[in-house]
């Protein structure tokens, strides 16, 4: 399949970010470090020839107040935050939460901004987004997939123009503990508890 080309004849080309927050949590837990949304935006804005136009963050919630400080911080940074309730598993004291699937929301948002996007950075690993990627590339939009080896579906990786491994981007994205701990570390710990994860790396 030929690689897509950005539609604008001259830079800056318009960049859209889409972050599957729930999927990225698991990817970063595997890596043992967490990226800072502020640094992700700064890294995107520092790319030659690109201008950040839209940024979306997708999160599963156990209730309406879940992750409120983190979501407020994301909104303050300029992200549009989409949420969906986590799936409940079990009853009473045995109740746990499974992941929320926001692939439909990702697809709707990226199609809505397709006419004003030249490139999309997709932070997800869901194979269900393969058809979305194909449609966007048919419109001339370049797709970069950012994820982790072993946690990004092969079908999705094969469909995009470029794959960036999070491990390679660590120097640019890793959270600075002293600065971000009050918001972002608490978010990671709260998400671990809501999913019933008693152990794992703490950002």
Boundaries of every domain in the chain:
13-194
Nearest to 25 by CA among 63, 73, 59: 59
pLDDT: is 97 or 84 the higher one? 84
As a whole number, mean pLDDT of residues 152-164 equals 96
pLDDT of residue 177: 65
pLDDT of residue 146: 96
As a whole number, mean pLDDT of residues 89-98 equals 60
pLDDT of residue 170: 93
For 81-98, b/e burial (b = at least 16 CB within 10 A) is: bbbbebeeeeeeeeeebe
As a whole number, mean pLDDT of residues 25-34 equals 87
Is 37 within 8 Å of 71 (Cβ atoms)? no
The burial class, CB within 10 Å (0-12 / 13-18 / 19+), for 17 is: buried
Domain 13-194 adopts which CATH fold? Answer: Rossmann fold (3.40.50)
Res. 201: pLDDT tops 60: no
């Amino acid at each position: 399949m030929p690689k897509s080309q950005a539609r604008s004849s001259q830079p800056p080309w318009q960049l859209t970010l889409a972050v599957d927050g729930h999927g990225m949590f698991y990817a970063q837990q595997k890596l043992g470090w967490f990226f800072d949304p502020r640094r992700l935006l700064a890294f995107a804005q520092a790319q030659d020839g690109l201008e950040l136009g839209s940024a979306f963050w997708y999160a599963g919630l156990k209730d309406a107040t879940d992750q409120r400080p983190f979501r407020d911080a994301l909104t303050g940074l300029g992200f549009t935050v989409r949420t969906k309730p986590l799936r409940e598993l079990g009853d009473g004291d045995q109740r746990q939460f499974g992941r929320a699937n926001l692939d439909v929301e990702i697809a709707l948002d990226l199609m809505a901004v397709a006419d004003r996007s030249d490139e999309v950075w997709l932070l997800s690993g869901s194979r269900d987004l393969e058809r979305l990627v194909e449609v966007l590339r048919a419109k001339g939009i370049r797709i970069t997939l950012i994820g982790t080896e072993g946690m990004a579906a092969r079908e999705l990786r094969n469909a995009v123009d470029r794959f960036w491994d999070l491990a390679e981007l660590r120097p640019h994205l890793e959270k600075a503990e002293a600065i971000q701990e009050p918001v972002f570390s608490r978010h990671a710990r709260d998400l671990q508890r809501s999913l019933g994860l008693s152990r794992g790396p703490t950002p």
